[in-house]
Chains A and B, each alone.
Chain A
Amino acid sequence: MQLHQILVSATPSDAITNSVFELRKLLRQIGPSEIFARHVHPDLADEVIELSKYFRVASHHPSDDVLLYHASIGEPSVYEFITQRRERLVLVYHNIAPAAAFEPYDPAFAQLLTDGRHNLAALKDQVTMALCDSEYNAAELVALGYADVRVSRLIVDPRALVDMASDEETTEHVNIAVEGPMALFVGQLLPHKRVDLLVEAFHILSTYLLPEANLVIAGSPRLPRFAAAFEQQIAELGLSRIRLTGAIPARELRSLYQRADLWVTASDHEGFLVPLLEAMSFEVPIVARGTAAIPETLGGAGLLLDPSDGPLMMAEAWCEVIDNESLRADLIARGKSRLDDFTPESARVQVLEHLASIL
């Protein structure tokens, strides 16, 4: 019996790609297991196989085998491939970003997201079991009519980042060049992450409340038109204390987490949000808006604002967390205890149990 994983694109230090590698370790304990992707980043060419080469491993008795399909976007060729296979299909659902947010920047990409949702609905009868990394994601599949939907935590180990050595140059830079309190956001610069709201809140924070505050935004600018608009927004507001790092290696990310006084997000849509766990591991208090799966992942271990709260409220909350020592200590303690719910060991056991039930 073979258990292979299919995903649209494999990119280094991407949360889904990381979890796919973790899962492969586990699947290989059961049988041969490879990863296939439509788009493979050159750095991962040795680990991930092009989807077009799947026929090389496909067995003659496909119904004995299992395909785990990681859904996070639509891609016509991947969907077509899936619908033509006769292996048992396990859907691993990471949620699909809302198409409307991408419409003004990249209509073609928005169309892929819309297709992704349609395909998701169409796949429901072919899928044997669906695994979701949050209750929020599970609820969406149940609403689409999926029969067997289970919540299975993502296999992530945020402590791995803590145990890694920091990048010395970055550490030195953030310790010396960044004066005053530092807020950190980690994530791709995409419209539904609402980094524009972060900038608005920071404008208020640094103009009216804490002029010496800093905001570091660490993530790759995936959508050129959005990234350009976002950079223009920062430039026009004259916010020289916002720093955009672009995509950075894990060691540099570690230096940022270590220096950060506060972790912030204004995201409208998240299926899970791994950086929340990373912030907790680095004992950085979190302020977030209570949208999508964020309240569930946070589990009370952060200052959770209402989805209707705007940049004024966000700025006040950031300021409070920076200034209020006892609140910080409380949030950090909550984060530490919340991490116990997300050990990679328990996530592995969960996945194995779910898979065993269908094999």
Chain B
Amino acid sequence: MNPSDHSEVDQLIDELRARVVERRKAGFYPEGLEEELGEHFRHIVAHRRASNLDPVRESLELLDRRGAFGRSRIALTTSIPGGQFAHRAIGKAVSRQTTGILQQLQEFGDATRQVFVKLVDALEDPYGHVHIDMVGQLDALWERVAAWERGPVESAAALADLRRRVEELEAREQARRFTPSYTADAFETAFRGSAEDLKDRYQEVAAAFVEHSPVLDIGCGRGEFIELLKALDVKASGVEIDPLLVSEGKAAGLDIAEGDGIRHLAGLKDRSLGGIVLLQVVEHLTTQGVIDLVAIAKHKLRKGGMILVETVNPQSLYTFAHSFYLDPTHGNPVHPAYLTFLFEQARWREVEIMWRSPPPSDDVLEVEEGISETAAANIKRLNQLLFAPQDYALVAYR
């Protein structure tokens, strides 16, 4: 063995010592564990009851020291003169009987002593007088306690923590609950305009997908955009979460699946789509949902495939006064700069923003002739802030 071998072991010992310090500090080992264990054993030693059979044993020893039965131990002393001789003579005369009696007594004494010794031994052996079933039950209890103690965490605390987390989740789920008294169809008709209005609005957008068949329309509603695409000979399908809208679309002979858009997209074969379109959808998604969409969509598009995401423009204050809060299911408006950032981070190509739906010219502040230049400039700035386009569409390619 060379000295370097020794230093390797020494180094290992140092490592182990450092590990102990580290684990102690991190709370892996409870504080004061070693001291508690040491104290536990000291306590047992200090408080262990001495066997209460000791006095019995002492008495037995005393019995032993008394010696054997014998004729010599029978006193012959007497106050009558010459009486000793008489006693001796009588003793001699009945010696055979006396010896016989003493022998029997000795045998009885020995046997009795033996009984006591055995009794004390039996009492000192716990298994001799403890009910065997009780020992078995105690063993089983010890096993369970040991298993409990070996648990990775303190169980009551772990349960409390789990209960708290479940309650939090329930509360969050409760807050998300939305069961309107109206149908989505009625809402669309009241606020989004007729099918013809929608088709007019998206004619141009549909034309952009001519080279990108097949197209998936996520959140397709009744399927107006799919119809536009079909008219342009672009193969298209859709996915919609509202069952009523789905059945209407299907009745019109459109290929529409019912369900969650992102989940439906994730279930498609990779590189199976030429285009993906989401019109007024991302503002309904959760923050994480938007991030997931950007990542999953890229996998599903062929190389060169196009995605178009149209949503409310939060840079236009007019939007908030008119359209955005009209729909109670609108969650988070998505800022165009943030959405651009997300697509660029996910390495989409040619990410571009197109501004759409300027507010009606009647609503925009007018610049009257003859006012000062400053006043005119101020009105222009106000118009930019208040009356910027209500929507934007992000276009990107894989």
Residues of A within 8 A of B (CB): 104-105, 196, 199-200, 203-204, 206-208, 211, 225, 228-229, 232-233, 235-240, 300, 303-306, 309-313, 316-317, 320, 327, 330, 334, 337
Contacts and interface: CB of A to CB of B under 8 A. Distances in A.
A320 B38 contact: no
B38 A200 contact: yes
Interface stretch (B17-25, B212-220, B221-229): B17-25
Contacts of A104: 45-46
Contact of A238 (B1, B50, B145): B145
A200 B34 CA distance: 8
Given A204-B29, A300-B5, A236 B44 contact: yes
Given A229-B48, A312-B24, A303 B13 contact: yes
Given A200-B41, A203-B37, A207-B150, A316 B20 contact: yes
Nearest to A201: B37
Given A300-B1, A316-B19, A334-B5, 4 more contacts: A196-B41, A238-B149, A240-B143, A317-B13
Nearest to A301: B1
B34 A207 contact: no
Interface string B5-28: 110110011001101100010001
Nearest to A313: B20
B150 A317 contact: no
B48 A238 contact: no
A137 to B, nearest CB: 24
B13 A305 contact: yes
B146 interface: yes
A235 B149 CA distance: 13
A205 to B, nearest CB: 11
A235 B16 contact: no
Contacts of B13: 303-306, 317
Contact of B48 (A225, A300, A316): A225
B186 interface: no
A327 B150 contact: no
Contacts of A313: 16-17, 20
Contact of B150 (A206, A303, A306, A310): A206
Interface of B is mostly: helix
A238 B142 contact: yes
Interface in B17-68: 17, 19-20, 24, 28-29, 33-34, 37-38, 40-41, 44-46, 48, 50
Contacts of B29: 204, 208, 312
A320 B6 contact: no
A300 B9 contact: yes
Of B8, B28, B40, the most chain A CB neighbours within 10 A belong to B40
A233 B145 CA distance: 14
Contacts of B8: 330
Given A104-B45, A317-B16, A303 B33 contact: no
Contact of A235 (B20, B24, B142): B142
Contacts of A309: 17
B40 A236 contact: yes
A228 B125 CA distance: 11
Interface of A is mostly: helix
B48 A233 contact: no
A268 to B, nearest CB: 14
Contact of B20 (A232, A312, A327): A312
Nearest to B46: A104
A300 B6 contact: yes
Chain B interface size band reads 20 to 34
Contact of A233 (B41, B46, B50, B139): B41
Contacts of A239: 146
B61 to A, nearest CB: 15
A233 B41 CA distance: 6
Nearest to A337: B1
A225 B304 CA distance: 86
A240 B144 CA distance: 10
A139 B9 CA distance: 27
9 pairs of A and B residues whose beta carbons are closest in the complex: A238-B146, A200-B37, A238-B145, A196-B41, A310-B34, A316-B16, A238-B142, A229-B44, A229-B45
Nearest to B143: A240
Nearest to B151: A207
A226 to B, nearest CB: 8
Contacts of A199: 41
Given A206-B150, A233-B44, A316-B20, A311 B34 contact: yes
Interface in B84-113: none
Given A196-B41, A232-B44, A320-B16, A240 B142 contact: yes
B136 to A, nearest CB: 13
B1 A334 contact: yes
Contacts of A306: 13
Nearest to B3: A300
A303 B37 CA distance: 23
Contacts of A327: 12
Nearest to A327: B12
Given A228-B48, A229-B44, A233-B44, A240 B146 contact: yes
28 contacts: A104-B46, A200-B34, A203-B37, A204-B33, A206-B150, A207-B150, A229-B41, A229-B48, A233-B41, A236-B40, A237-B37, A237-B40, A238-B146, A239-B146, A240-B146, A300-B5, A303-B12, A303-B13, A305-B13, A310-B34, A312-B20, A312-B24, A313-B16, A317-B16, A320-B12, A330-B8, A334-B1, A334-B5
Nearest to A196: B41
A319 B53 CA distance: 44
Contacts of B37: 200, 203-204, 237, 311
Nearest to B24: A312
Contacts of A206: 150
B172 to A, nearest CB: 36
Contacts of B45: 104-105, 229
Contacts of B28: 208
Nearest to B10: A304
Contacts of B16: 313, 316-317, 320
Contacts of A211: 150
Contacts of A208: 28-29
Nearest to B124: A224
A213 to B, nearest CB: 11
